[in-house]
Amino acid sequence: MLGLVLALGLPTAWAQNVGALVNVEGLRENALVGYGIVVGLNGSGDGTQAKYTAQSVANMLKQFGTRLPEGTNLRSRNVAAVMVSATFPSGYRKGQMIDVTVSSLGDAKSLRGGTLLMTPLRGADSEVYALAQGNLVIPGISVQGRSGSSVTVNTATTGRIPRGATIEREIASDFDSTPSVRLNLKRPNLQTAANIVDAINRSLGNGAATALDGTSVDVIAPPDPTQRVAFVAKLSALMVTAGKEMPRIVFNSRTGTVVISQGVTVKPAAVSHGSLKVTISEGFAVSQPNELSQGETAVLPVSELNVSQPGGRAFQWKNGTSLQAIVDTINSTGATPDDLMAILQALDEAGALSAELVVI
């Protein structure tokens, strides 16, 4: 079954809340980042090449009163150095919890089963705004055999900790200090900005809203903070029609998900698709020396690799072929998500795809 998500049956334009189309300036999110270590790994942590991991462990032990002798070559495969990132939502106060993402910094094979130790998260001004700690949730897996053969599903060196960070410092906002409220469109579009201005002026009166460009709309707002909150809530509930945008195809290279929006068509094109199958099997070979050779019996790992490529299939699309026809044709070949990505990327390179490709 393909990892394919389709946006079918949707009209080219439909009414949406203003709140779903814009961000209110002064109520934005802020990025946080920090450096920490993950412990408790089952031998899948950083190797000796990651010198900073050993230094971090030594510094941590020193804080707890354990000082290692000078020149000690500390090596622990149960520890990994990581970078921790998070998003500080607008208006969050001390004590509230946010999710964090933990990513390996060194040569660790997997973070599965690890625990992040207390890590300060800093903003762009280098101030600490949150503290992160907790057990990781890892969506991927990585397995390696004795001979070096390996299998990897998704990414085992990146994980998340739901509600893994606690806010320790608040971020000031200028939301209530300006005479107007600025609405910034999440997807800049001239027609969408014009429609928002029309909807607000119909509700509040002419001149209440003005469009600066296809990205921003200014709305005169009450100075009282309580009234301003209710005012913005009212603006967010207004219904407008979003302008038509370029169709998109989104690839998630980590999970193998492909999302195709409505309106994607192709020009005349022919595609040949073939399936490549790689099989790896492992075993052991015993080397037995002759009786008088004074050798030793040795057991060696052996890997067998078989590559097969059955006859491929070819299919052709006519000019203006619809999304449904594209998906039905690709499904009929038994393509995997990786095959689907390769086919669509090749069509884009050939200039036969009427969509924007986005890789996340």
Domain residue ranges of the chain, discontinuous segments joined by +: 12-27+181-241, 30-167, 246-275+310-360
Among 130, 109, 124, 138, which Cα is nearest to 36's? 130
The answer to whether 86 touches 94, Cβ cutoff 8 Å, is: no
Of 124-133, 209-218, 320-329, highest mean pLDDT:
124-133
What pLDDT does residue 144 have?
58
The answer to whether 275 touches 334, Cβ cutoff 8 Å, is: yes
What pLDDT does residue 63 have?
86
What pLDDT does residue 315 have?
59
Among 113, 112, 45, 51, which Cα is nearest to 80's? 45
Higher per-residue pLDDT: 308 or 138 = 138
Q: What phi, psi does 298 have (nearest 5°)?
A: -130, 140
The C-alpha atoms of residue 320 and residue 314 are separated, in whole angstroms, by 19
8-state DSSP, 109: S
The C-alpha atoms of residue 296 and residue 72 are separated, in whole angstroms, by 36
Higher per-residue pLDDT: 159 or 68 = 159
Burial 86-109 (b: 16+ CB within 10 A, else e): bebeeebeeeeebebbbebbbebb
Strand ordering across the sheet containing 216-220: 22-24, 180-185, 216-220, 209-211
- For the chain, give the percent of residues with pLDDT over 90: 28
Residues whose CB is less than 8 angstroms from the CB of residue 296 and which lie 6 or more positions away in sequence, other chains included: 289
Average pLDDT of the segment spanning 295-323: 59
The dihedral through the CA atoms of 32, 35, 39, 42 has a sign that is positive
The answer to whether 164 touches 134, Cβ cutoff 8 Å, is: yes
pLDDT per position as a tens digit, 61-104: 888 888 877 777 777 889 999 999 999 998 889 999 999 999 99
Q: What phi, psi does 342 have (nearest 5°)?
A: -65, -40
Cα 319-324-326 angle, rounded to 5 deg:
55
Residue 13: pLDDT above 60?
no
Higher per-residue pLDDT: 116 or 187 = 116
What pLDDT does residue 143 have?
58
pLDDT per position as a tens digit, 246-294: 777 887 777 777 777 777 777 776 666 565 444 445 566 666 666 666 6
The C-alpha atoms of residue 231 and residue 38 are separated, in whole angstroms, by 46
Average pLDDT of the segment spanning 202-225: 89
Higher per-residue pLDDT: 323 or 340 = 340
- For the chain, give the percent of residues with pLDDT over 70: 73
* Confidence band of 4 (pLDDT split at 50, 70, 90): very low
The C-alpha atoms of residue 142 and residue 331 are separated, in whole angstroms, by 28
Residue 2: pLDDT above 60?
no
Residue 32: pLDDT above 90?
yes
Average pLDDT of the segment spanning 317-339: 67
8-state DSSP, 313: E
pLDDT per position as a tens digit, 329-360: 666 666 677 777 777 777 777 777 777 777 77
Residue 195: pLDDT above 80?
yes
What pLDDT does residue 139 have?
80
- Element spanning 229, H or E: helix 225-237
Among 142, 158, 154, 143, which Cα is nearest to 105's? 158
Q: What is the pTM of this model?
A: 0.58
Report the mean per-residue pLDDT for the chain: 79
What pLDDT does residue 278 have?
43
